[in-house]
Amino acid sequence: MLYLHICMPSKRMMETFISMTRKSMPQDEHKFIFWDTCYENDLCLLDYGNVAALNNYSIKKRRKIMYEEFKKADVLVWHGLILSGRQILMLYLNPSFCKKSVWIVHGIDMYNYVRNSKGFKSSFLNHINYSVRKSMPYVVCLTEDDAKIYKSKFGSCKQLYVIPKPISADVFEQFLPLRNAKDRLNNQLYIQVAHNAYTFNNHIPVMKSLLKFKDENIKLVIPLSYGNDWVNAQNNYINEVIKFAKSAFSNKAECINKLMPQDEYNNLLWNVDVGVFGATRQNAMGNILRLLLVGNKVFLPSD
C-alpha cells in the first residue's frame, strides 16, 4: 500500500506528524509531497526521506506531476483541503482521486473555504469546493464539535473519525520546567489576542472588550504573521487591526508580523499571562494547549 500525504510545506504545521509517521511506519509506504513552494526554513522536512518538494517546476508541470502521483497512490491523505482554484478543479474533474481520499480537517478548510464575493467565478469555485469535500469517503476531525459541523454541512461519509492532532514531545519538554516560573518584576500583564491574521479571529471586537483595561499595566501581544485570506487582501484587514491596536493601546500593543522559530514562539507563549481568542469555531488549539500547560488563563467566546 502506498499512502500519499498531500500537505502544506510547513515545518510548523507538519514536522510533528511526519516525524511520528517515520518512527512508527515503513518509510516506503508513506510518501509526503508539497504541491506549493517549500521555502528555505522548511526544507529540513525533506531530510525525513520520501518527502518531495516541487520547487523547481512550473505550475503546469507541478499539476502534471501531482496527477501522476495521485494515480500511483492507493490512498490520498489530505492534510487540510487548502487548495487553489486550479488544484481543487483537478480533484473535481477526477472523481477517482476523491474516492480513495482521506480528508484530515484542519479548520479553515471546513469553516472558511466559501468565497463571499459575487460573480460566476466565486460561485463556481464554491460549488466545486463543496462537491469535492462532500465526495471524500473518509474524514478525520480534530474534535467532536468539528464532526457535528461536518455532518451538518456535508451529511454522512463512509467513515468519520475524531482524532486529536499530535503535539510534539519537545513542546512538553520545553514547557514543563516553566510551569513554576516567577512573576515579572514590573508586574506587567501580557495579553495575547488571537494567534494569526485571519478575519474570523475578530481582533477588533476583542480589543474593544479590553479597552477598559488600557490604563492598567498591560501589554497586548497580537500575532499577525500569517493568515492573509481573501477578505484580508480585499479590505487590508491586517492594516486595520494594527491601526486600531496602535490608536487604542499605543505602545502597549505589539503586533508580530513575522513567523518565529518554534522555540522562540513557545517562549513568547510562556511569557503570556492571558490568551483571548475571538473565533467562534475550533481554532488555535496548539496555542491554547500550550497556554494552559503553563497555567495561563484563556478566554473564549461563550458560543
Confidence of residue 44 (pLDDT cuts 50, 70, 90): very high
Q: Tell me the pLDDT tens digit for each residue of 67-81.
A: 999 999 999 999 999
Mean pLDDT of the chain: 91
CA-wise closest residue to 84 among 196, 230, 236 = 230
Query: Do residues 197 and 241 touch, judged by C-beta distance below 8 A?
Result: yes
Q: What is the pLDDT of residue 191?
A: 97
Q: Is the pLDDT of residue 231 over 60?
A: no
Q: Is the pLDDT of residue 298 over 80?
A: yes
Amino acid of residue 88: I
Query: Do residues 129 and 149 touch, judged by C-beta distance below 8 A?
Result: no
Spatial separation of the C-alpha atoms in residues 43 and 235, rounded to whole Å: 33
CA-wise closest residue to 222 among 234, 230, 210 = 210
Q: What's the average model confidence in pLDDT over 192-220? A: 96
Q: Is the pLDDT of residue 230 over 60?
A: no
20 forms beta bridges with: none
Q: What is the pLDDT of residue 175?
A: 76
Confidence of residue 134 (pLDDT cuts 50, 70, 90): very high
Q: What is the pLDDT of residue 233?
A: 60
Cell of 26: 515503513
3-class SS of residue 193: strand
Q: Is the pLDDT of residue 236 over 90?
A: no
Calculate ∠ Cα 147-274-242, nearest 5°: 90
CA-wise closest residue to 13 among 32, 29, 28, 27 = 32
Amino acid of residue 193: V
Query: Where does 25-100 have alpha helices with state H?
Result: 59-72, 85-93, 95-99
What does DSSP say about strands 30-34 and 253-256: parallel, antiparallel, or unpaired? unpaired
Query: Do residues 239 and 126 touch, judged by C-beta distance below 8 A?
Result: no
Q: At what angle do helices 85-93 and 59-72 cross, to 10 degrees?
A: 40
Q: How many residues does the chain have?
A: 303
Confidence of residue 117 (pLDDT cuts 50, 70, 90): confident
